[in-house]
Amino acid sequence: MRKRGFTLIELLVVVSIIALLMAMLLPSLKSARQAAKRTLCLANMRGLEQAHWMYLTDHDGALIQAGLAHAGEVDSDVAWIKTLQKYYGNEILAKSPLDRSPHWPVERGGQGVPVPDKPGYPYRQTTYGINDFLDVDMAGSVILDASGPRTYPKVDMIRSPVRIVHFVYMAETGRFAGSDHPHVYQWDTTFPPSKAASQLEIDAHGGPKDDWKSRAPYGFLDGHAETLTFERVYRDLNRNQFDPFLLTGTYDDGL
Using one digit for the tens of pLDDT, what is the confidence trace for 53-108? 999 999 999 999 999 988 766 677 899 999 999 998 877 789 999 999 999 999 98
In the chain, how many H helices and how many E strands? 6, 8
Model pTM score: 0.86
Q: Letter for the amino acid at 79? A: A
Q: Of the candidates 128, 93, 122, which has an alpha carbon nearest to the alpha carbon of residue 110? A: 122
Q: 13 pLDDT exceeds 60?
A: yes
SS3 for 97?
Answer: coil
| Distances, alpha carbon 145 to alpha carbons 141, 243, 245, in Å | 11, 13, 10
Dump pLDDT digits (tens) for 208-246.
Answer: 999 999 999 999 999 999 999 999 999 999 999 999 988
Say which residue, 11 or 29, is predicted with more confidence: 11
Residue 75 confidence (pLDDT): 75
Is residue 74 included in any domain, yes or no?
yes
Q: 250 pLDDT exceeds 70?
A: no
Mean pLDDT of the chain: 87
Is residue 252 included in any domain, yes or no?
no
Range of the domain at 59: 32-247
Residue 92 confidence (pLDDT): 77
Is residue 103 included in any domain, yes or no?
yes
Is residue 118 included in any domain, yes or no?
yes
Say which residue, 122 or 31, is predicted with more confidence: 122
Domain count for the chain, please give it: 1
- The CA distance from 133 to 185, in Å, is 8
